[in-house]
Amino acid sequence: MKQIVVSDRPYHLSWDLTTACHLHCNLCYNTEKKSHPTETRDLIETILDNVVELKPLHLGIGGGDSLLSPYISWILQQLAERMGDEMPIITIDTMMVNQGEDVVQQVWRLNKDLGDNRIQFYLSIHGSPEVHDKIVGYKGHFKKQIEGIKLLKRYGINFSLGIVPTKENFNQLDTVLILALYWGAGLLNISRFVPIGKGAKAYEQNLSSEQYKWLLDWIVTRNTQLSCQLP
Ligand SMILES: C[S@@+](CC[C@H](N)C(=O)[O-])C[C@H]1O[C@@H](n2cnc3c(N)ncnc32)[C@H](O)[C@@H]1O
């Protein structure tokens, strides 16, 4: 009989590096706009020690916006130096990769040293330019996301796209899927809306049970039709 091998390393660990963010997403679970006072070097070092010891297979670094943390480059360097081949697959969640070419260059260098595309990015796109900009509360942000994607493609760095479906953008799923396919995203992640934090005020935007059922059917149908990778 075929044996199922289970790793003794945790499959996934999420590290929300900072609460700082420059967007105003109406659905966001994060209520802060600035860095929290506890985001000190001491705390970062303690968390880093734990990550190195736990050796997760996948590490999601997010926020807030991970690129707004002054420690992001240092953390990536430390993980590479201290974990070497055991470095997890890392996904950097940001909405301002277009302004972070220094980190993109560092990721390109680290990936080259590691000999694979282990460090990747995750960008949210919630619909067409108009719908996306409205949801994130930032006019012109969709355009910045596309600039960010082009920057990643210039450096050959893999990325995934994500959408949080609510009543506001329920009719945008095909638009975002087409964008993911067009730009060559490795994955389109569909996150379930969790109405907490700022998002608690948008509770009525939560999909109905019929819409969730439709969404599951949509995922199955599109996966079959396109042989693409939905969640
Ligand atoms: C808090 S955001 C922070 C990272 C980055 N600033 C961004 O917006 O992508 C992390 C991810 O969680 C999603 N998200 C935010 N609030 C959410 C909520 N209430 N329920 C589910 N997903 C949410 C965002 O769309 C994004 O994909």
SS3 state at 144: helix
Question: Is residue 1 assigned to a domain?
Answer: no
Helices 141-154 and 129-136: crossing angle, nearest 10°?
Answer: 110
**Which residues sit opposite 91 in a β-bridge?**
60, 120
63 phi, psi to nearest 5 deg: -170, -140
Is it the case that residue 228 has pLDDT exceeding 70?
no
Question: Over the stretch 95-110, which tens digit does the pLDDT of each residue have?
Answer: 999 999 999 999 999 9
Domain total for the chain? Answer: 1
Question: Is residue 4 assigned to a domain?
Answer: no
CATH number of the domain residue 108 falls in: 3.20.20.70
90 phi, psi to nearest 5 deg: -115, 135
Is it the case that residue 140 has pLDDT exceeding 70?
yes
Q: What percent of the chain lies above the pLDDT cut of 70? A: 97
Question: Is residue 62 assigned to a domain?
Answer: yes
Question: Is residue 26 assigned to a domain?
Answer: yes
Q: Is 34 left (phi over 0), alpha (psi -120 to 50) or beta?
A: beta
Report the residue among 17, 19, 21, 25 best suited for mutation to probe ligand 1: largest number of ligand atoms under 8 A from its CB: 25
Question: Is residue 231 assigned to a domain?
Answer: no
Average pLDDT, whole number, for the chain?
Answer: 94
pLDDT band at 123 (very low <50, low <70, confident <90, very high): very high
Angle (CA) 148-149-155 rounded to 5° is 95
Instruction: Name the pTM for this structure.
Output: 0.93
Range of the domain at 139: 12-226
Count Cβ atoms within 10 A of the Cβ of residue 184 and give its class: 0-12 exposed, 13-18 middle, 19 or more buried. Answer: exposed
Task: List pocket residues of ligand 1, CB cut-off 6 Å.
Answer: 21, 23, 25, 27-30, 62-65, 93-95, 124, 162, 164, 191, 193-194, 199
Is it the case that residue 204 has pLDDT exceeding 70?
yes
Question: Is residue 5 assigned to a domain?
Answer: no
Ligand 1 center–CA 16 separation, angstroms: 11
Report the residue among 19, 27, 189 best suited for mutation to probe ligand 1: largest number of ligand atoms under 8 A from its CB: 27
Q: What is the separation of C-alpha 202 from the centre of its chain, rounded to a whole number of angstroms?
A: 21
The closest-lying atom of ligand 1 relative to the alpha carbon of residue 122 is 9
Question: Is residue 22 assigned to a domain?
Answer: yes
Question: Is residue 7 assigned to a domain?
Answer: no
Please state, as a whole number, how many other Cβ atoms lie within 10 Å of the Cβ of residue 141: 24
